[in-house]
Structure 1
Amino acid sequence: MPSSSSASSTFQIEYQICNCGKPSPMRKSKTKENPGRRFLGCGNYEKGKKNCDYFYWIDPDPKDKEMDDKIEVLQSEKRALHLKCQEMENVVQELVKENKKLKKKFFLHGKKKFINL
């Protein structure tokens, strides 16, 4: 975990001394998966020397934001489905009441035998 800090022109960047004993400079990822994403890495990494593999992302994973957005959409859909289920339960309850009324009406019209509709 980064433990010290140094000032930048517009924001504060945290840094740490890597396991090689060198300051871990901030870099920007050039990969397709994380373009421009800032990270701290071992001071020996790009010098071709043996490095300690120290690595720490500064910027959050953009995929996490996408996942958060997807989760929010799914939660919204879940709430909508829950409301729809409540509405359908109300309709079922009304139909059960109507069914009871029809059974009672049918029974009161002279039929001695009770039947389910």
Structure 2
Amino acid sequence: MPSSSSASSTFQLEYPTCNCGKPSSMRKSKTKENPGRRFLGCGNYEKGKKFWDYFYWIDPAPKEKQMEDNIQALESQNRALLLKCQERENFVQELVKENKELKKKLVAVEGVMVSYK
């Protein structure tokens, strides 16, 4: 009877490779904005140097950070909408002004037409 051999396999997680060719590695953020938040970054990353070409957050942003980001996005959208409203209001004012001038010209033309009758 043939003997059976047991093979043990180990699971090794492979992280994405950066464009520089080095595999990324997992780290924990030490910043005030994202304390302890895990991320993948280029294996060549060194504090104070460029991230190279690979960076990916593993953990979601803290709720407070998400809320701050959402508020900032909404404020930005609000400013853009206010600017559009102001531009449209200016456009409407120009149209009102032009309309008044055209009405004056129409009254003058109608006056000339009456004199030809």
What range is the shorter-chain TM-score in? Answer: 0.3 to 0.5
- Highest relative contact order (Cα 8 Å, sep 6+), 1 or 2? 2
The TM-score with structure 2 as length reference comes to: 0.45
The TM-score with structure 1 as length reference comes to: 0.45
Structure having the larger proportion of residues in strand: 1
